[in-house]
Amino acid sequence: MAFDSKRGKGFRSASALLENRLRTVGEERGFAVTRLVTHWGDIAGPDLADITTPVKVSYAKGGFGATLILLTKGAHAQMVEMQLPGLRDKVNACYGYNAIARIKLTQTAPTGFAEGQAVFKHAAPQAPVRNPDHTATAQAAVEDIRDSGLRAALAEFGDNILHGKKVQQ
């Protein structure tokens, strides 16, 4: 709940705050009743709601006899097709009148574009070719350092610089 300071009506539910925005977006897609989208599971039933999604409602010129477009996976299309008359009755009950005359199924692949892409294997990184003169120069520059760990780290650092390898900080 959120306090509605503009209207002075006290607290309002979150759904009431989003109602106008949902209605605007729904009307752009042809949904005059946003409940069709927000409560699709209650209207279609859990079995059909799991395999279908309402996408758009397109109206005929006269305003009556609209077509509801549902998205489903190709494998489920025949099962959904058999249940369309009952589903149309449920959708029209949501509208309160015989608004939907037809339901059109749009089939899609079971995976989206991102999931269906081929996986490319990258070539294993090859060890860079080292110039022995650069390595010897780097080791000669640090040979006076007594600490063996520090001497090895500085020799590697100098070798990387002489070979032009970027050093991470």
For residues 16 and 158, what is the distance between their CA atoms, to the nearest angstrom? 66
Residues 78 and 32 in one domain: yes
Residue 49: is it exposed, middle or buried by C-beta count within 10 angstroms (0-12/13-18/19+)?
middle
Rounded CA-CA distance 139/120 in Å is 40
Give me the pLDDT at residue 30, please: 47
Residue 78, in any domain of the structure: yes
Tell me, yes or no, whether 137 and 102 share the same domain.
Answer: no
Instruction: For residue 43, give the CATH number of its domain.
Output: 3.30.300
Q: Are residues 36 and 87 in the same domain?
A: yes
> Would the pLDDT of 145 be above 60?
yes
Q: Give per-residue pLDDT as tens, 41-87.
A: 888 998 998 888 888 888 777 666 788 889 888 888 899 999 999 99
Q: Which of 108, 123, 140 is the last residue of a domain?
A: 108
Domain tally for the chain?
Answer: 2
Query: Would residue 167 count as lying in a domain?
Result: no
Quick one: 95 and 158 in the same domain? Answer: no
pLDDT in tens, 2-35: 555 555 566 667 666 666 665 565 555 445 556 7
Which residue in the block uniquely carries the two structure tokens 């080292």?
A: 130
CA 105 – CA 87 distance, rounded (Å): 12
Phi, psi of 137 (to 5 degrees): -65, -45
**Residue 3 phi, psi (nearest 5):** -80, 130
> Per the domain annotation, does 119 fall within a domain?
no
Would the pLDDT of 109 be above 80? Answer: no
164 secondary structure, DSSP code? T
Q: Which domain holds residue 141?
A: 132-162
In a domain, 81, yes or no: yes
pLDDT at 82: 93
- Whether residue 114 lies inside any domain: the answer is no
Residue 127 domain-assigned? no
Q: Between residues 144 and 164, which one has the greater pLDDT?
A: 144
pTM of the model: 0.48
Alpha-carbon gap, residue 48 to 86, rounded angstroms: 11
Same domain assignment for residues 24 and 67? yes
In eight-state DSSP terms, residue 161 is H
Residue 23 in tokens: 């209605």
At residue 133, the pLDDT reads: 86
Q: Rounded distance, CA 112 to CA 71, Å?
A: 13
